[in-house]
Chain A
Amino acid sequence: MGLFDSASDKKKKELAALRKAVEASPSPAGFVSVVEKYAAAGDLIAAADTARQAMKQFPTAEKVQQAYQNVRRIELQGQIQDLTRAITEGRAGAGEFDRLAVIYSQELGNKTKAYEIAREGLAKYKKAAGLHLLCGEIRADRYAEDHLANDWIEARNHLEKAVELSPATTMARLHLAQLFVMVGLTAEAKPIVDKLAAEAPSETVEALARQIAAAPAAGPVDVETRLAELQKAKAPGSAGGAPGTAGAVDKNVLEAYLGRMEKIDGFKAAAIVAADGQVLLVKSVKPELSAAFGQLVHAIYLACEESSHRMDIGSFVSGEIDTPRGTIEVAEGGHLVLGILAGEPAKTAQLRKATEEFAAISRPA
């Protein structure tokens, strides 16, 4: 007994020391490693606590998100299983769909899955205001992240439906007003905010009212035109900078970056292009490949971007193509698109790291 206790204590101390070391020099991989070790040791409370801490520091790191979701999934396993069973056996009401979608959205941070569950629920219960509200919130979050017109339109449709079905729900009205303000439709937001200020005053409502009051007076706005303008303004290659330049990114930084890429063993070609297809920078071991490679990168970006939009899975982020001549990595970086072709002995991990670096340097400050 004593022996086991002391082994367990030793393990706990080791993990605590490891956690401290990661906290002193935080990185997504370091946190994920600690979370996994705590989970393997059966200490789910510490695992969840560490995962939460990691999410606070690295909210966009995919591996951190996965580690957090895995730990929470174990904790919530019982509830998830019960609700999923009720849905698959066809005995779930709108409330069960709503609870499961909320678990995925708020507890696990998996908004895609939450949206799917809510949509599945809405296919059965068209008048479920809660499911419309959740779908509206998720599409509004997607719009804030990706600026695609379709997300905004879907968010508005769901939130308006939630308000129609449950007019007293403050949250749906608040989100709808925020959605209008997000794209500068302050005239549409104002009556909603005025009503909220009278019925359910809060700091958020007051802040929104101040934002509307500070906005310059504008004439009638065509929503579709406004959304199209905003979507275009966020597209790679179009947000700042004259044509033929690297936009907001220092061209010297990009040239230095491509210079580093050239040193990868197996490097064959790399190009940085704008969304309109303009080749801004290119390096190639075969000069005759230079112009064609830039066009190839643009063509792949365009095909993926258009398909992603039409399939409603957001904007293109990156692509990896294994070809007989080597691997091509393509990545969107804020305003620009990068493509690298490298063969043996270059490693895929090396190329992925290179595209991550590109994404970091090409995002405007």
Chain B
Amino acid sequence: MKQVLTELNTEVGVKGSILLTEDGLVMAAEISGTLDHETVAANASSTLMATKKALRSVGIEGFSRFICNSRFGKMVFVETGDMYLVVVLDKSINLDYTMMTVSAAARRIKSMG
């Protein structure tokens, strides 16, 4: 799985990727030098948990994809079975193209079980 993250990080605009369990625990992480590993992991986890909790409040169980756009960067969550692939992206990317790569990585992780 780490290999999938490493390969994903070579894509243009990808700054780091993490695998989180449904409970927000970090299973694997590959973060580039300029980002703080612990900060990214902690915030990806808290965003995942808060979003799932909020959805549950209206009777929605989980989500398959969440794209969060901020002014100077993006964070993407993709469900991979019993885990979530979280990818931190540069602001200036072709999102449609990058999402194809992210989805392919998520499918590879899912197939690993």
Give the CA-CA distance A146 to B73 in the complex, in Å.
13
Q: Are A293 and B58 in contact (CB under 8 A)?
A: yes
Chain B residues 35 to 65 lying within 8 A of chain A, measured CB to CB, are 35, 39-40, 42-44, 46-47, 50-51, 53-55, 57-65
Q: Contacting A321 at CB < 8 Å: which of B39, B43, B51?
A: B51
Chain A residues 121 to 176 lying within 8 A of chain B, measured CB to CB, are 123, 142, 145-146
Interface majority SS (helix, strand, loop, mixed), chain A: helix
Q: Are B50 and A299 in contact (CB under 8 A)?
A: yes
Give the CA-CA distance A304 to B57 in the complex, in Å.
17
Give the CA-CA distance A321 to B66 in the complex, in Å.
4
- Interface mask (A89-109 → B, CB under 8 Å = 1, otherwise 0): 000000000000000000000
Give the CA-CA distance A119 to B63 in the complex, in Å.
35
Choose the segment among B3-11, B88-96, B104-112 that binds chain A (4+ C-beta atoms closer than 8 Å).
B88-96
Give the size of the chain B interface in residues (CB under 8 angstroms): 39
Chain B residue nearest in CB terms to A315: B71
Choose the segment among A75-83, A210-218, A305-313 that binds chain B (4+ C-beta atoms closer than 8 Å).
A305-313
Q: How close is A142's CB to chain B, nearest CB, in angstroms?
A: 7
Q: Give the chain B neighbours of A303 by CB distance below 8 A.
A: 46-47, 50-51, 54
Given known pairs A299-B53, A307-B43, the reply for A313 and B73 (CB within 8 Å) is: yes
Chain B residue nearest in CB terms to A63: B94
Chain A residue nearest in CB terms to B71: A314
Choose the segment among A21-29, A43-51, A322-330 that binds chain B (4+ C-beta atoms closer than 8 Å).
A322-330
Give the CA-CA distance A317 to B71 in the complex, in Å.
6
- A228 on the B face (CB < 8 A): no
Q: How close is B85's CB to chain A, nearest CB, in angstroms?
A: 14
Q: Give the chain B neighbours of A319 by CB distance below 8 A.
A: 66-69
- A66 on the B face (CB < 8 A): yes
- B75 on the A face (CB < 8 A): yes
Q: Are B71 and A120 in contact (CB under 8 A)?
A: no
Q: Give the chain A neighbours of B33 by CB distance below 8 A.
A: 120, 123
Q: Contacting A314 at CB < 8 Å: which of B39, B47, B62, B73?
A: B73
Q: Give the chain A neighbours of B61 by CB distance below 8 A.
A: 324
Give the CA-CA distance A69 to B53 in the complex, in Å.
39
Q: Are A322 and B64 in contact (CB under 8 A)?
A: yes
Q: Are B72 and A142 in contact (CB under 8 A)?
A: yes
Q: How close is A200's CB to chain B, nearest CB, in angstroms?
A: 32
Give the CA-CA distance A116 to B75 in the complex, in Å.
17
Q: Are A296 and B92 in contact (CB under 8 A)?
A: no
Residue among A66, A69, A119, A308 with the highest chain B CB neighbour number at 10 A = A308
Q: Are B34 and A323 in contact (CB under 8 A)?
A: no
Give the CA-CA distance A110 to B71 in the complex, in Å.
13
Q: Are B69 and A323 in contact (CB under 8 A)?
A: no
Q: Are B66 and A320 in contact (CB under 8 A)?
A: yes
Q: Are B64 and A299 in contact (CB under 8 A)?
A: no
Give the CA-CA distance A200 to B90 in the complex, in Å.
38
Q: Give the chain A neighbours of B51 by CB distance below 8 A.
A: 299-300, 303, 321
Give the CA-CA distance A119 to B34 in the complex, in Å.
7
A-B pairs with beta carbons under 8 Å apart, 22 shown:
A66-B94, A112-B73, A142-B71, A299-B53, A300-B50, A303-B46, A303-B51, A307-B68, A307-B75, A308-B70, A310-B39, A310-B42, A312-B72, A313-B73, A313-B75, A316-B69, A318-B69, A319-B67, A323-B60, A323-B64, A324-B61, A324-B64
Point out residues on B near A: beta carbons under 8 Å: 33-35, 39-40, 42-44, 46-47, 50-51, 53-55, 57-75, 88, 90-92, 94
* 5 pairs of A and B residues whose beta carbons are closest in the complex: A314-B71, A313-B73, A303-B50, A299-B54, A308-B70
